[in-house]
Chains A and B, each alone.
Chain A
């Protein structure tokens, strides 16, 4: 899945953050802290063709109901779209 803005994922003090790089302007509303699932999805975005690929990866990694996983994946991807990242 193609990203519209450049970000780098950083691990700091056991937390995962998205850091804007290149031309991306920092949105001063806050820092981008990723949850464990968010970080997991983020790492798979470059290889994934669509949200279905992401969902399959989540189901392979976590013991979770498919509907719940789908809702979580969609919520995260929607958030990225709202922020103009995806």
Chain B
């Protein structure tokens, strides 16, 4: 199989635009969560609600006009990239009305979808006016896994839809959330991605559904930190050549000597990513957040206007402080902890998410074990 030798990264120009946007306080990219509804029922989902649950919140989805107006105001303020997501965005009957209006504004539009509805009239309309990119979540490598995890028998339909979009020339990327329900399918999923010629971004880390369940119930639907680390490495072993895996492991090797409980405390730090700096997220019920994985800080663009809401998010995001322990941690280059993880795991931005500490320690331990086996015995990949 054709494996990867290097990470596929976004164009440098995108990073440059975001840097410039952050300096100029421009919302370069925005996520529009068009609906919380979904035709799947994945247990680990952070947003999915059925009609009754939505009704119980006493909140409502934004109208066609409200989404278009928000997009226009965001574009006028400097938005260039827009991500349409859900729930499943294609469940909205007015999806193409919103999408076409936004596209004609000159926005580079990506769509997050589970891929199960991209046939018939939806496919036809999409290919008549194609997006910048389709990010499709692939939940498994066979029909059985789809039935178990998503509650839908649509595996064949989804793979057919991916093929159709690819054939039409649309840029399709696959997202893979590795969970207890599909971790046995990694090899199949990798094979499918190779056959389809589609890049897959896999992750073993699942956020607790903090936005959906404030009490963090639902955490049982994800793997333990140790299992998440092992699954992520399993995925890396599939997608990388051994040389690339070893190259990436270099930075991990030096970290073995550090003990988990010896966190060096440094002055706490602010958010380092684009959330609330050059990007925003608007939830299905019209709340603006720096990032969709954070339940706060929030602003209400429908009430105060996009500009005022963005200014508020910029200001409140700057006030966020992450844990001092994380700022001083030698393992942070492997851990990749972020503000959203802190608040989703602990309810606070400045509290250490110990799930990440355990996942990082296991990643370091297993990576060294793998490299040691390869180095010591010159074993083949299959022996690891």
Which A residues are within 8 Å of any B CB, using their own CB? 8-10, 12-15, 17, 19-26, 28, 30-31, 33
CA distance A10 to B26 in the complex (A): 15
9 sample A-B contacts, Cβ–Cβ < 8 Å, listed by A number:
A12-B28, A12-B80, A13-B80, A21-B106, A23-B129, A24-B130, A26-B108, A26-B132, A31-B108
- Chain A hits for B107, CB < 8 A: 19
- Chain B hits for A24, CB < 8 A: 130
B13 touching A23, Cβ below 8 Å: no
- Chain B hits for A33, CB < 8 A: 13
- Chain A hits for B14, CB < 8 A: 31
Nearest B residue (CB) for A18: B106
Q: What's the interface size class on B, roughly?
A: 20 to 34
Q: Is B6 an interface residue (CB 8 A)?
A: no
Nearest A residue (CB) for B18: A13
Known: A13-B20, A28-B171. A23 touches B28 (CB 8 A): no
Our count of residue pairs bridging A and B at CB distance below 8 angstroms stands at 54
CA distance A29 to B260 in the complex (A): 42
- Chain B hits for A14, CB < 8 A: 20, 24
Tell which of A8, A13, A30 touches B11, judged by Cβ atoms closer than 8 Å.
A30
Q: Is B17 an interface residue (CB 8 A)?
A: yes
Q: Is B104 an interface residue (CB 8 A)?
A: yes
The 10 closest A-B pairs by CB, nearest first: A8-B106, A28-B171, A10-B106, A13-B20, A12-B80, A19-B106, A25-B169, A26-B132, A31-B13, A25-B130
Q: Mark B70-90, 1 if CB is under 8 A from A, else 0.
A: 000000001010000000000
- Chain B hits for A12, CB < 8 A: 17, 26, 28, 78, 80
Known: A12-B78, A13-B17. A22 touches B129 (CB 8 A): yes
Shortest A30–chain B CB gap in Å is 5
Which B residues are within 8 Å of any A CB, using their own CB? 11, 13-14, 17, 20-21, 24, 26, 28, 78, 80, 103-104, 106-108, 128-133, 168-171
Shortest B354–chain A CB gap in Å is 39
CA distance A23 to B128 in the complex (A): 5
B133 touching A13, Cβ below 8 Å: no
Shortest B80–chain A CB gap in Å is 4
CA distance A56 to B375 in the complex (A): 67
- Chain B hits for A15, CB < 8 A: 17, 20
Tell which of B11, B80, B130 touches A23, judged by Cβ atoms closer than 8 Å.
B130
B169 touching A13, Cβ below 8 Å: no
Nearest B residue (CB) for A7: B106
- Chain B hits for A21, CB < 8 A: 103-104, 106
Nearest B residue (CB) for A32: B13
A13 touching B28, Cβ below 8 Å: yes
CA distance A8 to B24 in the complex (A): 23
CA distance A61 to B353 in the complex (A): 59
- Chain A hits for B24, CB < 8 A: 13-14
